[in-house]
Structure 1
Amino acid sequence: MQKIRTVIIDDEPFSRDELKFLLERFPEIEVVAEADSGERGLEMIMTKEPDVIFVDIEMPQMSGLDLARTIQNMKKVPLIIFATAYPDFAVKAFRVEAVDYLLKPFDDEQLNETMSRIRERLHGSEKTENADSVAKLAVDDNGRFVFLSPNEIFYLFREERETIICTKERNFSSKLSMKELEEKLKGYPFFRTHKSYLVNLNAVEQLIPWFNGAYQLKVVGRKDDIPVSRNYVKALRERLEL
């Protein structure tokens, strides 16, 4: 098993110890260094070249956000997971391309979701490295911002004034329009099947004739029927090589 080299950066010893303890149950994680300041964390990143860093935001002198901005020009930028007691920094975290945003006190479910995103990003990094598109989307999860890889998204649809983003197991909401999200997802295999639906073609399981030349789609792991308008059928069949 290839280890995920990890550095924990937090000025509070208890928080570092708690996070290290929780990460020990993931056998692929190897904590290669800890740091009690942003400056020391930067030194550890330069010398240890980790795959992932867990970093607190509120630290004296160099904050976690300052550290994240500083490392953006490195040749190898580690995945950034912010671990903080302050939910108000989520938008700023997204702007420095954080993969996730853990709120203290940590819980198992939250950490499991973060680990899923880490695995997805590291596993799929070669496929998306040169794409002219986002590396992840910030979505609302009951007041907490979550960062989704496009590969996790099965389909999106418009509902009143929100866009609903559907993964295999959960739905999230976004204030962005379908057009805005479609632009952000360029470079990934998403296809507009209807004026209100955008589907990840890698998740398509069935294409079912409906009526008057229209079709319905089903995606893996979901029971929903996704409409395919007649105007999109020909192009969709070509994309699916049918």
Structure 2
Amino acid sequence: MEAHPDWQLVAECESAAQARGVLAAGGIEVLFLDIQMPRESGLLLARELARMAEPPLVVFVTAHSEHAVAAFEVHALDYLLKPLDDARLAQAVERAAAMLAARQRAAYGAAMRGYTESPPWVEQISVRSVGRIDTVAVLDIAWIEAQGNYVALHLGARTLLHRVALSRLEALLDPQQFLRVHRSVIVRRREAIGLSVVGDGTYLLRLRDGSEVAVSERYVGAVRALLGVS
């Protein structure tokens, strides 16, 4: 821990069972948790921790990037890919420090429980930013737009960036409420008010908040059915 003198390494554990013993003693604020552990997945341990009122902040460590989606489902603060990169480790430590300084462990615990105890379709999304967690009601989302590794949640007067793939978020949304209209756009069905043809195979969907979003030919039939137009 020479590179992070303000932090203390309390213990190193070889299994989830051993980690439980250390955690039971209390005083652990941040847990670097390997997803693939002997006899038991680190994800299972994280789901147990989600039931705590103020769980330790969890940073997953994995050799496989596909585990990242599962990690964020139990609301990991961050995840690190093996072999560990010093710069990414420092970034994860900084995020943890900011969260602890802002006394966000109770909010973090609520967010973890929201992911692990949620109904089939999510009702809220916990958006992480430096030092804080914003809880967004899905009912407040007008439309969603992919932006690289993030999605932009458009909430009328404000927009929040959330770190998740659009396709993964789509799988968590009620299809009776949301409709994919483009490879990079999902809209709330009730927000759609009109469709315009702006070119050969190019369409724009008008929304109640005044936004216009692209509609691809793949989805235009579903959009027309939604609006009741031919």
What is the TM-score of this pair, normalised by structure 2? 0.51
Where structure 2 has 5 or more consecutive residues not aligned to the other structure, the ranges are: 112-123, 135-143, 162-230
1:66 is paired with a residue of what secondary structure? helix
Following TM superposition, the consecutive aligned residue runs of length 4 or more in structure 1 with deviations greater than 4 angstroms are 130-135, 150-153, 180-185
* Secondary structure, counterpart of 1:41 in structure 2: helix
Q: Distance in 1 between matches of 2:157 and 2:8?
A: 35
Which residue of 2 is the match for residue 118 of structure 1?
Answer: 96
Asked if 1:162 corresponds to 2:146, the answer is yes
2:13 counterpart of 1:29: no
Which residue matches 2:21?
A: 43
1:127-173 alpha-carbon deviations (Å, 9 max, x no partner): 98399976544xxxxxxxxxx447599xxxxxx9534xxxxxxxx65
Matching of residues 89-238 of structure 1 within 5 Å: 89-126=67-104, 129=107, 136-137=127-128, 148-149=129-130, 151=132, 161-163=145-147, 173-179=149-155
Matched, 1:58 2:36: yes
- Report the residue type matching 1:178 in the other structure: H
Once residues 28 and 102 of structure 2 are traced to their aligned partners in structure 1, the CA distance between those partners, rounded to angstroms, is: 17
Tell me, yes or no, if the aligned pair for 1:162 and 1:176 is still in contact at 8 Å: yes
The 3 A distance-change label for structure 1 pair 27 and 136 is: farther
Q: CA deviation at 1:177?
A: 3.7
* Aligned counterparts of 2:130 and 2:86: Cα–Cα separation in 1: 20
The one-character-per-residue Cα deviations of 1:66-104 (angstroms, maximum 9, x if unpaired) are: 010011112330000101111111111111111010001
The answer to which of 127-136 and 77-86 deviates more is 127-136
TM-score by length of 1: 0.49
Residues 6-60 of structure 1 show CA distances to partners (whole Å, capped at 9, x for unaligned) of xxxxxxxxxxxxxxxxx33101110111110011111111114300011100112
What is the number of residues matched between the two proteins? Answer: 140
Distance 1:114 1:67 in 2: 20
Contact preservation (8 Å) 1:81, 1:101: yes
Find the aligned partners of 1:173 and 1:26 in 2 and give their Cα distance: 28
Identical pairs, percent = 31
Tell me if the contact between 2:104 and 2:132 (Cα under 8 Å) persists in the aligned partners.
Answer: no
Measure, in 1, the Cα distance between the counterparts of 2:35 and 2:158: 31
1:52 to 1:75, Cα distance in 2 relative to 1, 3 A: same
| Structure 1 SS opposite 2:8 | strand
The one-letter code of the counterpart of 1:26 is H
